[in-house]
């Protein structure tokens, strides 16, 4: 960067005494000052496309690279902000001095009515404590961020859901299993495991269904699929003869999700199992 405005704002050392300056001299100094401000504004303009490229690789590698680049850009932003604030503060002081001297040469000018000099660039005057500005703060975390779907993710999920709705339980189970292998950790992962468990239950694969329900619940324990997944897991455990585990799991549905419709189904299942 060629931010040399701070040096260029220095007035000539061999300038004549204040009372010997003419009105034209002061106006010329003000013109030079504003030209340098325009140069500063050009420094703040972009000169081309972004120079950051995120190569391929694992998610962890890309996240690490992005974090490193963000830290570098944050440090650069802090340095530039400090330099710009110093330039604005110095330029504003010099401009105020020029306005005062200009008013002295104007017969009709009242120095007492000059007021405060407008900050260069507008806005509040920057702090000049000599310290670098505080780091950029990240945006506040959202309580329920909206996850984006990968290309083709919704279409693949809908294809598996259509197979389940049509009664093709084996095809649906396979499609949902392939879905979560293709899009691991995606926003539809929990629902995919839940529906895979339902397909396996229709194929009398109760153990496989129980595993799918457990995975659906552990993937997102507070999501919209969690109450049903927990209920179906408890019901599957009961069918596998694990009555005590089933009763405990079904009881958790009401404790964790008291407003969910699955609570009634869980209570009915507990009654059938004879849970205390």
Domain layout of the chain by residue ranges? 5-45+57-113, 153-273
pLDDT band at 217 (very low <50, low <70, confident <90, very high): very high
What is the pTM assigned to this prediction?
0.48
pLDDT digit string (tens) for 35-76?
Answer: 666 666 666 665 555 555 555 566 666 677 777 777 777 777
Residue 49's φ and ψ, nearest 5 degrees, are: -75, 165
Mean pLDDT lowest among 72-86, 88-102, 240-254: 88-102
Note the pLDDT of residue 149.
77
What average pLDDT does this structure show over 15-37?
A: 62
Reported as a pLDDT band with limits 50, 70 and 90, residue 156 is very high
Nearest to 237 by CA among 223, 219, 224, 252: 252
Distances (CA, A) of 258 to 163, 197, 215, 247, 267: 32, 23, 22, 16, 11
User: What sign does the dihedral 98-102-104-105 (CA atoms) show?
Assistant: positive
For the CA atoms of 120, 125, 129, 135, what is the dihedral angle to 10 degrees? -90
**pLDDT classification of 145: cutoffs 50, 70, 90:** very low
Contact 155, 175 (CB under 8 A): no
**Helix, strand, coil: what percent of the chain each, to 5?**
65, 0, 35
Q: Examine the pLDDT at 266 and tell me if it is beyond 60.
A: yes
**pLDDT band per the 50, 70, 90 thresholds, residue 118:** low
Is 1.25.40.10 the CATH number for 153-273? yes
9 vs 73 pLDDT, higher one: 73
Least confident of 37-41, 137-141, 193-197: 137-141
């Amino acid at each position: 960067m060629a931010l040399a405005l701070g040096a260029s704002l220095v007035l000539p050392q061999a300038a004549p005494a204040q009372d010997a300056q003419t009105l034209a001299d002061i106006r010329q100094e003000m013109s030079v000052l504003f030209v340098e401000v325009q140069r500063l504004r050009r420094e703040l303009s972009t000169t081309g496309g972004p120079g950051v490229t995120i190569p391929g690789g694992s998610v962890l590698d890309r996240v690490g690279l992005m974090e490193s680049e963000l830290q570098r850009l944050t440090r650069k932003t802090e340095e530039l902000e400090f330099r710009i604030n110093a330039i604005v503060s110095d330029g504003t002081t010099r401009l105020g001095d020029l306005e005062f001297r200009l008013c002295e040469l104007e017969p009709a000018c009242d120095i007492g009515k000059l007021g405060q000099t407008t900050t260069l660039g507008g806005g509040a005057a920057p702090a000049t404590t000599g310290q670098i500005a505080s780091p950029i703060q990240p945006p506040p975390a959202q309580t329920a961020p909206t996850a984006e779907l990968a290309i083709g993710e919704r279409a693949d999920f809908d294809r598996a859901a259509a197979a389940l709705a049509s009664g093709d339980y084996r095809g649906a189970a396979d499609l949902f299993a392939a879905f979560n292998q293709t899009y691991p950790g995606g926003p539809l992962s929990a629902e995919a495991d839940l529906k895979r468990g339902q397909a396996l239950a229709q194929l009398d694969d109760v153990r496989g269904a129980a595993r799918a329900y457990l995975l659906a619940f552990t993937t997102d324990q507070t999501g919209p699929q969690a109450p049903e997944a927990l209920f179906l897991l408890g019901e599957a455990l009961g069918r596998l003869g694990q009555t005590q585990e089933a009763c405990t799991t079904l009881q958790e549905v009401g404790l964790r999700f008291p407003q969910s419709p699955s609570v009634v189904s869980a209570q009915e299942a507990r009654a059938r199992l004879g849970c205390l």
